[in-house]
Amino acid sequence: MIDKQFDKETFKKSVKDNVKFLYRRKLEEATQEQLFQAVSYTVKDVIIDNWLDTQNAYEAQDPKIVYYMSMEFLMGRALGNNLLNLGAYGEVKEALEELGIDINALEDQEPDPALGNGGLGRLAACFLDSLATLGYSAYGCGIRYRYGMFKQEIRDGYQVEVPDAWLEEGYPFELRRPEYAKEVHFGGYVRVEYDQATGQNKFIHEGYQAVKAIPYDMPIVGYENNVVNTLRIWDAAAIEEFGFDSFDKGDYKKAVEQENLAKDIVNVLYPNDNKMSGKELRLKQQYFFVSASIQAAIEKYKKTHDDIKKLHEKVVFQMNDTHPTMAVAELMRILMDQEGLGWDDAWAVTTKCVAYTNHTIMAEALEKWPIELFSRLLPRVYQIIEEINRRFIIEVQNKYPGNYEKIKKMAIIYDGQVKMAHLAIVAGFSVNGVARLHTEILKNQELKDFYEMMPEKFNNKTNGITQRRFLLHGNQNLAAWITDHIGPDWITDLSQIGKLKVYADDEKALQEFMNIKFQNKQRLAKYILEHNGVEVDPHSIFDVQVKRLHEYKRQLLNILHVIYLYNQIKLHPEMEFYPRTFIFGAKASAAYERAKKIIKLINCVADVVNNDPSINGKIKVVFIENYRVSNAEMIFAAADVSEQISTASKEASGTGNMKFMLNGAPTLGTMDGANVEIVEEVGQENAFIFGMSADQIINYENHGGYDPDFIYNTDAEIRQVLMQLINGTFSSDTELFRDIYDSLLNTKNCSRADQYFILGDFRSYAEAQKRVEAAYKDEKKWAKMALLNTACSGKFSSDRTIQEYVDDIWHLDKVTVTKSS
Ligand code: 26Y
């Protein structure tokens, strides 16, 4: 699409002008960073026109709006993606070339906005992309963390966390909107006052500390449709007048303190993934962005509508996990205390406006806050939750008279804690899981009692990913090849990619497909050489596991298997073995000691294996530092094998699995999360499935009977691998990996040895790895398998997921935006 605003000459002039006005320099004198800024501002100008047009279209058409509330948005770089979605990448690339600028180098200048941890945050980003592309009115609501996900450096094999100062140079794709600032109140107490006029009690929140929330808007560009939606993230500042008694006025020190207190709230993203920590500041963050976002939504609604009781006709809040669940009580508070509704009316509106997505079943990830902390920080909100709980318990009692077990299990407040998931389920009109298996486990295990009481709320929305970032942008050669063969429709309708199936036996097509894979592997090999100093052979099998480090994801199983293979090769040097490069990438939460030890172990194994001449380079192990969205795009494109080896039942969905599949890498995995649906689409014969089923695991967990010691005692090869953790093979410090060793066995008085069934699945995994090798050796067979993975990935577009959310939960209206200029 040639856009007149992307007329090459105009574009070039604008870039030059920006360099001049921003930096007082000539183009030739500008640094790469300055060029990135100058180009980005030029692009932003174009986006702003579309943004205004979108705003106008929304105002004219008054569609229902979804507010996607999320503590995390893992956006990844914007420049390249925005250009692609504007349909201007090609032209801009050429224009830049004419100026002597390499667009890739420029894209590499952009910091990754990493306002998220992993799956949940990246899902939110994919959803925004799909919402804009499908033409739905949507806001992402979140926090503008000053420091996003830490940068990971590997020093001496250990993870070191370095602050991610992504805003340091100024971020060109954001717009400060001080005119929409809101106040958020913490602490204080609630005074009850009887109102003669209405005969009702009034609840007055006093003695609080006020913080100012200032929104920054980031444009979310739809694919070639002129739509630009908004990600609105909130910054915090002090309110100058606040809290000073008259004698304090002008107290400079206090003013600075207030500013710091406010800034603290948005200072840093908690690097916890699937593990609750109970930090007061995190609770503050949650209320801060939830309150500001809901205030803004209601203010916007009231500009053009006067009946607050019809809010649900135009507004829906989707809660991305329980982190924003305070939205329930905050909405109640505003409806009652500010809009003057009574409890029943407020509840009727609230329960039609909020919906909840669950992303995990793991107990340690479920949010529970001590009531002491909660009520002190948010007295009015807490009071409302108490009342919701009181009424809910009555309902439970009515439904199950005399059954106190039910109350114990279902209450929102119990054992001195506020259980956020229970609040979300009780108030939400929809509760969804993120893959079919996950939703079934929610219904039949974790949330069984709730499902029995309110089955109509439960539904599944299998996750998806945006093909525009993870194929069109991340794998440009393959994208072009696909478009050559089936046309460009797959870009906005991924089901079209199924048309590639006709090439599954076409030798020429398969050859081309694998050539592109090879080029991508060369690109990654170059990156690894530059960043790790390790030479890897692009002809070897690139076997990749990239994701957050967590015991349930079982990077440990992978590296133990590498040790096992290493032993095999040393023992049988004559054995046939297809060269393999094991690639890892993973950040561990800064406080998660065992996860960090596993990173160290991977690097220690890499050191030994990569430098052992006796194995002839048959195995290489690489740990890619600082895994993040930008290098992920390149890694997926280069992968041969997708490691999705979580303990069955633990990975709610996984989304990396879908990105690998899209890029033609077969899954080596357990029947967990969305792997189940991936196999269903691509066929058993085009994946490598192993391990215990979710049912088996859950059965062991409920009834006991799993004994890793038995495996250790009866399987000498597994025992050898475990012994090597503590006998100096990989570290002269024999105690270094003692904790990992102990975690797998009953040797210590540890309550749950090998919680994640690593030994239980080991043999089955090793056998599946053998099948991978055999399949890879047969070049044609492998090519067909790889191509079919891409061809069968149609279901896993976030466009499909979003359309399902729209049809079943949000009921949004589609909007078309036409360009005004
Ligand atoms: C600190 C705490 C309360 C917490 C923080 C972050 C709890 C959970 C998380 C993040 C969870 C997460 O990323 N979950 C992942 O969501 C993906 C998108 O649905 C799933 O694909 C993936 O299986 C799941 O682990």
Fill in the DSSP letter of residue 433. Answer: E
Estimate to the nearest angstrom the gap between the alpha carbon of 209 and the chain centroid: 32
Pocket test for ligand 1, best of 70, 272, 274, 320 (most atoms within 8 A of CB): 274
In a domain, 810, yes or no: no
State whether the beta carbon of 655 lies less than 6 angstroms from ligand 1. yes
463 CA: nearest ligand 1 atom: 19
**Is the Cβ atom of 736 under 6 angstroms away from ligand 1?**
no
Cα 74 to ligand 1 centre (Å): 12
Q: Which residue's CA is the nearest one to ligand 1's atom 3? A: 276
> Which atom in ligand 1 lies closest to the alpha carbon of residue 366?
3
Q: Which two tokens stand for residue 696?
A: 């088996």
Q: Is the confidence at residue 751, as pLDDT, over 80? A: no
What pLDDT does residue 241 have? Answer: 57
In the predicted model, is pLDDT for residue 334 greater than 80? yes
Sequence-distant contacts of 628-632: CB under 8 A, at least 24 apart: 628/76, 628/112, 628/114, 628/149, 629/74, 629/75, 629/76, 629/77, 629/112, 629/114, 629/122, 630/76, 630/77, 630/108, 630/112, 631/527, 631/585, 632/76, 632/474, 632/546, 632/585, 632/656, 632/659
Helices (H) and strands (E) counted in the chain, each on its own, are 32, 23
pLDDT for res 71: 98
In this predicted structure, the answer to whether residue 403 has a pLDDT above a threshold of 50 is: yes
When pLDDT is averaged across residues 690-718 and rounded to a whole number, the result is 97
Asked if 131 and 138 count as a contact pair (C-beta separation under 8 A), the reply is yes
Residues 187 and 232 in one domain: yes
Residue 2: the pLDDT is: 42
Interval 609-667: pLDDT, tens:
999 999 999 999 999 999 999 999 999 999 999 999 999 999 999 999 999 999 999 99
Q: What is the DSSP letter of 198?
A: T
Please give the distance, rounded to the nearest whole angstrom, from the Cα atom of residue 362 to the centre of ligand 1.
Answer: 10
> What's residue 246's pLDDT?
45
pLDDT at 29 over 60: yes
Q: Which residue has the higher pLDDT, 657 or 253?
A: 657
* Six-digit token string for 701: 């967990």
Same domain, 92 and 161: no
What 3 state SS string does 28-92 have? Answer: HHCCHHHHHHHHHHHHHHHHHHHHHHHHHHHHHHCCCEEEEECCCECCCCCHHHHHHHHCCHHHH
pLDDT band at 252 (very low <50, low <70, confident <90, very high): confident
The per-residue pLDDT for 749 is: 56
* 241/270 same-domain check: yes
Q: Calculate the alpha carbon distances from 709 to 245, 606, 742 in Å.
A: 67, 27, 11
Residue 380 covered by a domain: yes
> Do residue 225 and residue 305 come from a single domain?
yes
Does the residue 305 lie in any domain?
yes
Q: Is the CB of 117 under 6 A from ligand 1?
A: yes
CA of 655 to the centre of ligand 1 (A): 11
Find out whether the beta carbon of 360 lies less than 6 Å from any atom of ligand 1: yes
Asked if residue 1 has pLDDT above 60, the reply is no
CATH number at 607 reads 3.40.50.2000
On whether both 212 and 97 belong to a single domain, the answer is no
736-763 average pLDDT score: 90
CB 658 within 8 A of CB 681: no
What pLDDT shows up at residue 103?
Answer: 97
Residues 666 and 753 in one domain: yes
Whole-number pLDDT of residue 685: 98
The mean per-residue pLDDT over the stretch 503-525 comes to 98
| Ligand 1 and 463: CB distance under 6 A | yes
Distance 70 CA to ligand 1 centre (A): 11
Q: How confident is the model at residue 267 (pLDDT cuts 50, 70, 90)?
A: very high
Task: Convert the pLDDT of each residue in 187-245 to its tens digit.
Answer: 999 999 999 988 889 999 999 999 999 999 999 999 999 999 999 999 999 997 545 45
> Residue type for 290, please?
V
Q: How far is the CA of 121 from the centre of ligand 1 (A)?
A: 8
- Kindly give the distance from the C-alpha atom of residue 311 to the centroid of ligand 1, in angstroms, as a whole number: 30
Which ligand 1 atom is the nearest neighbour of the CA of 322?
Answer: 3
**For 120-125, what is the mean pLDDT?**
98
Kindly write down the DSSP assignment for every residue of 783-813, as one continuous string: HHHHHHHHHTGGGGBHHHHHHHHIIIII-PP
Q: What is the mean pLDDT of the chain?
A: 96
Is the confidence at residue 9, as pLDDT, over 70? yes
490 occurs within a structural domain: no
Please indicate, yes or no, whether residues 104 and 213 belong to a single structural domain of this protein.
no
Whether 179 is covered by a domain: the verdict is yes
Domain limits for position 95: 1-61+86-111
Determine contact, residues 222/245, Cβ cutoff 8 Å: no
374, part of any domain? yes
Q: What's the residue count for the chain?
A: 821
Burial (Cβ within 10 Å: 0-12, 13-18, ≥19) of residue 454:
middle
- The percent of residues above 70 in pLDDT, for the chain, comes to 98
Is pLDDT at 472 greater than 80 in this prediction? yes
Other beta carbons within 10 angstroms of residue 435's beta carbon come to 25
* Best of 74, 120, 462 for a ligand 1 pocket test (most atoms within 8 Å of beta carbon): 120
pLDDT average, residue stretch 20-42: 97
Task: Please tell me the total count of domains within the chain.
Answer: 3
Which of 248-252, 361-365, 747-751 is predicted with the least confidence, judged by mean pLDDT? 747-751
* Backbone φ, ψ for residue 20 (5° rounding): -65, -50
Question: Does 295 share its domain with 351?
Answer: yes
Burial of 404 (C-beta count, 10 Å sphere; 0-12/13-18/19+) = exposed
In this structure, the answer to whether residues 444 and 570 fall within a common structural domain is no
Tokens read off for 373: 């902390």
Same domain, 98 and 233: no
Ligand 1: atom nearest CA of 122 is 18
Task: Check whether residue 685 and residue 703 sit in a common domain.
Answer: yes
> Using CA atoms, how far apart are residues 672 and 326, in angstroms rounded to an integer?
31
- Kindly report the protein residue whose alpha carbon is nearest to atom 8 of ligand 1: 274
CA of 524 to the centre of ligand 1 (A): 28
Asked if residue 5 has pLDDT above 70, the reply is: no
Angstrom distance (rounded) from CA 142 to CA 269:
11
Q: Ligand 1: does its nearest atom lie under 6 Å from the Cβ of 18?
A: no
The mean pLDDT of 748-771, rounded to a whole number, is: 91
Query: Any idea which residue has 């009580």 for tokens?
Result: 329
Query: What is the strand order of the sheet 541-546 is part of?
Result: 619-623, 580-585, 541-546, 641-644, 667-669, 688-689
Per-residue model confidence as pLDDT tens digits over 798-815 = 999 999 999 999 999 999
CB of 100 closer than 8 Å to CB of 351: no
What is the ipTM, given to two decimal places?
A: 0.99
The closest-lying atom of ligand 1 relative to the alpha carbon of residue 357 is 19
Distance between CA atoms of residues 792 and 379, nearest Å: 52
Measured by CA distance, the residue closest to atom 12 of ligand 1 is: 120
Q: Does a structural domain hold residue 487?
A: no
Among candidate residues 690, 682, 691, 692, the one with its CA nearest the CA of residue 660: 682
List pLDDT tens digits, range 592-606.
999 999 999 999 999
Residue 94 — φ and ψ, nearest 5°?
-65, -45
Question: What pLDDT sits at residue 256?
Answer: 85
Q: Which residues are catalytic?
A: 359, 547-548, 553, 655, 659
pLDDT-based confidence at residue 250 (cuts at 50, 70, 90): low
Place of tokens 């949000």: 810
Is the CB–ligand 1 distance for residue 118 below 6 Å? yes
| 765-800 pLDDT tens trace | 999 999 999 999 999 999 999 999 999 999 999 999
Q: In whole angstroms, give the CA distance from residue 30 to residue 13.
A: 15
Check pocket membership of 681 for ligand 1, CB cut-off 6 A. Answer: no
Asked if 128 and 139 count as a contact pair (C-beta separation under 8 A), the reply is: no
Query: Does residue 359 have its Cβ closer than 6 Å to ligand 1?
Result: yes
pLDDT surpasses 50 at 282? yes
Residue 703 structure tokens? 């009834």
Q: Is residue 511 located within the same domain as residue 585?
A: yes
pLDDT at 255: 81
8 Å CB contact between 597 and 735: no
Task: Quote the pLDDT of residue 242.
Answer: 46
Residue 357 beta carbon below 6 angstroms from any ligand 1 atom = no
Ligand 1 centre from 216 Cα, in Å?
Answer: 25
Does 176 fall in a domain? yes
Question: Taking a C-beta distance cutoff of 8 angstroms, is the pair 186, 308 a contact?
Answer: no
Pull the structure tokens for residue 652.
């709610």
